[in-house]
Structure 1
């Protein structure tokens, strides 16, 4: 059945944004890099601390969730520019991380699963840490930054992205070990369990180890003559939901609070080492997580609960005044204190933004040359970015101005996508391998609606056929914020609501 005229307009937007001519592309040369200007010195360069959390939706106090105890992240938000509507480009770990760390969309990285390396499969695309490294920064990775395995060449993209070997906590390998003590007194494996740290091999947990290692690296870099780019990837609240037993709240929310304690210790160390005045702090997640919405307890979709993520930037002197001598911006706060103050976030942006904007935004905030927009196709271009720079939101200088920034919300759009092996659910519907992908769902999110078309996809040519539409979804978020009522069939060929303004 034909789409309405306005539906065709919107489908054209999808086509223009996602679909690029794809041909055979040879892997690029692994050249040393793209030095664009003199390497910055410690005196005039800002450091970067990038914190990436796994499977974290916007269930945080600073995003209005009163059920969550996240005082340390909320404290960071109070000194940051916070983006209320930031979206990942695919709601699964490896494709999302490769996408925002290269600044390219999944259709360009050609990664929709966990089983290929973009430098071989698509092109020799530069990454955010690689670009900082090539511009004089010491770049370091702690924990889960790139997804481990084939998707980062079993090396976390070393040596291209990192100055030193990436660090992974030794306790990672015990993820599926029986550490949950049951009523029978025996240890069991479980996706949800509070643990006695004494029952865990090595007597620690991965995120605790990552925090300790990151603080050690900060201590070393305090006396360095070079600026640093430190990426710290936390595993929680990814399943299994394991957290120390003294935190008695169950499952996801308790894991968020446990992760918040680690962020608090890390930021407190930044203060103690007197690096707060010279370090940009960016905080985000690879994607969200459904907690029962649409009958799901997972990611693997285009709905807001799985694609919307927290995103905030602390920039010394721009998002908050520089702290005076002896003043602490990031004092550690125990999430489980009986009395904890509720901190309001700093400036907030309502416009919709995307994680592919991290590359141009971080480089611009650090004073480096912002890589150019990518041409179409861009498989032959090592250094470019498909995301929009968010620097315009940092231009206000009066820190006493209204706390809510509003651009033109009808011009802000975020794109996401998700692959399926078939039109109907089957055993591999959530995580199909590339060879099994037959349908791709391309989603446009505006301030008013989420619109998705499911179209045929050829995994051998990496090509979507937008003339073969299998299904569609349309949700009006003002009246249907949980996106439960699909209006697609109700609007095809008929009059659309007045709020429809593609």
Structure 2
């Protein structure tokens, strides 16, 4: 059997419903023809969730196939120099390389420095300030308080993020033998500053604005995160502008994906290449006053996942539970390669669906912060930001605080949230104290507590 190439299209802070193939009535109105065409010829997973709704732990789990509780990577502090990792972690790109594949990543990485997954790792075009180059500060839309750039328009034609797809295509043209190639886009992550040619196609007045915001879920955790963002204080015009520019940034990503898929066609590689599109986590666009990711609300926790292999995978839409750490086992399975060790993920095309999936964020130490890169965002009373774990079944979502101020959370501190995702798709109503849900609450909270007891702890130097 010929070994297929693999093209991994990876986005940062891309919520599923910002793509046409996932859009819903009354929500966002995306323009993503390249992704939609990919989805039409592939398998679309409707219920894929990130293993942690923040960059570093999600990306670490995707590469290793391990939960944060196995790696000790719970938040972005883990990208700091000298961060300790358990011995023997292996990433799936290393398995591809050991099997004779050429491996390369272009764009954003953002993982613990001790991990070195790629033979070639080129970060050009993925700098956090690259989209801001040449921008007029007065044109930017910022969140109240922490002043994150959630809207703006790049004025010229020299848009540095274009380098990611450009360099990836150049490498693809030179590759010999089977390859694993990742194009890892920073966009639509903040700073949200798309090129003017895309921004002008999305009118702020046509966006839902506060109609998208039905409030945070009924937990202290989601309410506190919304308070830190202060998005409720944004002018309606700024909120609509932020939503328009987010969609324009997604449209730019779609254009770049079209260039990569077009290169496959031009080189005659489409029929022998597995293409996968996904994101490390989703994003809030003003819901509950929040921007960015971080919570287990569906707009933050759910991610797109599309897998195409012409002639081998029939186009389909699937509703079984999937998670971001399934990526490695699935791609290795499609390439006919064996897993080197046990993982927490599954091969989505060979293994049965799980009864539940889990996700965790935060260190729960006294010095922990919701935004560690800003040293900002404390829990109520100035306490350290908590660690929180979520478990999802085909019907229910439960999340709870498991660690606070460097110790396990007490029952009074758990702040349990339980939602019926079928009856309440936005997951706003808390059923944790509903006596008819007591058995579900007990079972799922038991999963959360057991996972917390098994967790690897890492010493963080703040």
Give the TM-score, by structure 1 length.
0.69
Q: CA deviation at 1:414?
A: 1.8
Q: CA deviation at 1:91?
A: 0.7
Aligned to 1:76: 38
Over 3 Å counting, the alpha-carbon distance change for 1:297 and 1:164 in structure 2 is closer
CA distance in 1, matches of 2:302, 2:397: 12
Over 3 Å counting, the alpha-carbon distance change for 1:264 and 1:438 in structure 2 is closer
CA distance in 1, matches of 2:192, 2:396: 33
CA distance in 1, matches of 2:65, 2:278: 15
- Matched residue SS, 2:66: coil
Asked if 1:163 corresponds to 2:111, the answer is no
Aligned to 1:99: 61
Instruction: Identify the range of structure 1 (286-295 vs 95-104) with the bigger mean alpha-carbon deviation.
Output: 286-295
Q: CA deviation at 1:356?
A: 1.0
Q: CA deviation at 1:353?
A: 0.9
CA distance in 1, matches of 2:357, 2:363: 20
Q: CA deviation at 1:241?
A: 1.3
1:300–1:431 contact (8 Å) kept in structure 2 = no
Aligned to 1:359: 328
Aligned to 1:244: 195
2:362–2:368 contact (8 Å) kept in structure 1 = no
CA distance in 2, matches of 1:107, 1:132: 25
CA distance in 1, matches of 2:149, 2:403: 38
Asked if 1:209 corresponds to 2:209, the answer is no
Give 5+ residue unaligned stretches, structure 1: 1-42, 321-345, 374-384, 394-406
Matches within 5 A, 1:84-483: 84-116=46-78, 120-144=84-108, 146-147=109-110, 151-153=112-114, 157=115, 160-169=116-125, 173-177=129-133, 179-180=135-136, 182=138, 191-198=150-157, 203-206=158-161, 208-221=162-175, 224=176, 226-247=177-198, 248=200, 249=202, 250-320=244-314, 346-373=315-342, 385-392=343-350, 412-419=355-362, 421=364, 428-431=369-372, 439-457=386-404, 459=406, 464=408, 470-483=414-427
Give the TM-score, by structure 2 length.
0.74
Aligned to 1:6: none
- Matched residue SS, 2:400: strand
CA distance in 2, matches of 1:416, 1:251: 29
CA distance in 2, matches of 1:430, 1:278: 42
- Matched residue SS, 2:307: strand
Q: CA deviation at 1:421?
A: 4.9
2:131–2:154 contact (8 Å) kept in structure 1 = no
2:34–2:255 contact (8 Å) kept in structure 1 = yes
Over 3 Å counting, the alpha-carbon distance change for 1:120 and 1:441 in structure 2 is closer
CA distance in 1, matches of 2:126, 2:53: 27
Give 5+ residue unaligned stretches, structure 2: 141-147, 203-243, 445-462
Deviations 1:231-290 (A, max 9, x none): 110111111111111221232111111111111111111111111111111110000001
Deviations 1:214-242 (A, max 9, x none): 11011101xx1x21110110111111111
1:440–1:464 contact (8 Å) kept in structure 2 = no
- Matched residue SS, 2:119: coil
Deviations 1:414-444 (A, max 9, x none): 2112227589xx99335498x9866322111
The structure with the largest alpha-carbon Rg is 1
